[in-house]
Every structure is written in structure tokens, then in C-alpha cells.
Amino acid sequence: MKGRQLAIRTYPDHILRQTAKVVAKIDASTQRLIDNMLKTVTAAKGIGLAAPQVGKLKRIIVVTLPDQEPLVLINPVITKRSGERNVVEGCLSIPDYQSKLKRPKRIRIRGLDREGQPLQFRTNGQLAQVLDHEVDHLDGVLMLDHEEVPQ
């Protein structure tokens, strides 16, 4: 696999709370960053990664679910969320911790693929969960923010 492994920023690193910028031009450095993100998430045995987690405030996410082609989305926008389900999830930036929270059952998302081609689809289940989690990272939102306060 191309790319090199990058250091993953961990909570409470302030970069995780910042808003990432829209990618205006998809160039060689964007491709390098995507290769490096794919390498990093694979090495960390994760299933998703957002650019701020490797210290880059760019709106890029990658999802690497087992037995599926890696998914790369640039400037992703979730245009619809519906339903709710209880999930338990982790985050590469919050090691050895799991959050219990609600994620949408279904989402509709659009963005650009790594070549800059527009992409739009609906999905559900784990892919919807991971995409919601990764898009949150682009706005400085962490799974901790969704945790329900114990009664």
C-alpha cells in the first residue's frame, strides 16, 4: 500500500476541536494525504479516519470497513439523517474508550471522490454510523459530545 503512516492526534489535542476547511483544489498533495490516511487507518486497525485526526484541517474522510472497498470522501455533507439507533463505538483519537450514544439509522451523504467526481448515496447501519462519526470530526465534534448523561 502506498503512503506513509501518520501520527494520530489524541484527545484533548485542540486540533480535534477545530473546524476543517473545504478542499478547494484536489491536487497531488491531496492525493498524498489520502494515501497516508488510508495507510494510517489500516495500520491502526481502525474503520474510519478524518483528516483533523492526523493534524490536517481539511474536509477529507476515509472509511475502511472490513470486506469493503475503502471509501474516500472529500467535502462530505450529510444532507439527511433519519431514525435513531443505540450504538457503542470507539475512536482512534480517544484510545481505550467506548461511548454509548445514538446515531442515525439512515443517512444521505454527498461529496467528491478522490478524483473530484461528485458522489451521492444513501446508506444505513454501520456505514451510516461511521460516516456520521467521521463527518463530525470535520466540525470538531467528538463522540463524547453525543453521550447521554447518566440519570
Nearer to Zn ion, 26 or 51 (CB): 51
CA distances from 28 to 17, 60, 107, 114 (A): 27, 14, 30, 11
> Minimum distance from CB of 39 to Zn ion (Å)?
17
Q: In whole angstroms, what is the distance from residue 64 CA to residue 80 CA?
A: 22
84 is catalytic: no
Please tell me whether residue 62 binds Zn ion under the rule CB under 5 A: no
Please tell me whether residue 26 binds Zn ion under the rule CB under 5 A: no
Residue 99, sorted as left (phi over 0), alpha (psi -120 to 50) or beta, turns out to be: beta
Catalytic residue among 115, 134, 147, 148: 134
Instruction: Out of 38, 91, 101, 107, point to the residue binding Zn ion (CB under 5 A).
Output: 91
Q: Would strands 94-103 and 85-91 be described as parallel, antiparallel, or unpaired?
A: antiparallel
> Minimum distance from CB of 62 to Zn ion (Å)?
12
Residues in contact with Zn ion by CB under 5 A are 91
Q: Point out the residues that are catalytic.
A: 134
